[in-house]
Amino acid sequence: MTPTRFEPGDHVRVRPDEKPGHVRTPGYVRGKNGRIERILGTFKNPESLAYGGSGLPESPLYKVGFRQTDLWHEYTGPPNDTLYIDLYEHWLEPARKETV
């Protein structure tokens, strides 16, 4: 079992990196602050798998929750609407300030 860097409840920031290729982190969450909801397991890295690589070492995958109003300035729904997305560990870093 790969040790995980984050635990449920941790506040994280999605790295704002520009990265070409088969990347499973959509632009709309990059640079945004969210919270670890649960650990989904470890999986082969799709950024390597897509190009014939081994995908190893396997990477922990987290379900990360965001407030919709933190993602979209023009969001018109109620403030407790949420968005969950599954992100690989290397895309996450500890949040600097706890905003979620």
Partner 1 sequence: MSEAHHDLEGHDHEGVKPSAEAGRHAARIRAIEVLLVEKGVLTEEDVRRQIEYMEARSPANGAKLVARAWVDPGFKARLLSDTKAAALELGIDASGPVEFVTVENTPEVHNLIVCTLCSCYPRAILGRPPDWYKSFNYRSRAVNEPRAAMREFGLEMGDDVEVAVHDSSADVRYLVLPMRPPGTEGMSEEELAGLVTRDCLIGVSVPRFEAVRTG
In whole angstroms, how close is the CB of 80 to partner 1 at the nearest point? 5
Cβ neighbours around 70 below 10 Å, total: 17
In whole angstroms, how close is the CB of 70 to partner 1 at the nearest point? 12
Q: Is position 72 an interface residue for partner 1 (rule: CB under 8 A)?
A: yes
Q: Is position 88 an interface residue for partner 1 (rule: CB under 8 A)?
A: yes
Contacts (CB under 8 A) with partner 1, residues 19-48: 24-26, 28, 40-41, 43-44, 46
Q: Is position 57 an interface residue for partner 1 (rule: CB under 8 A)?
A: no
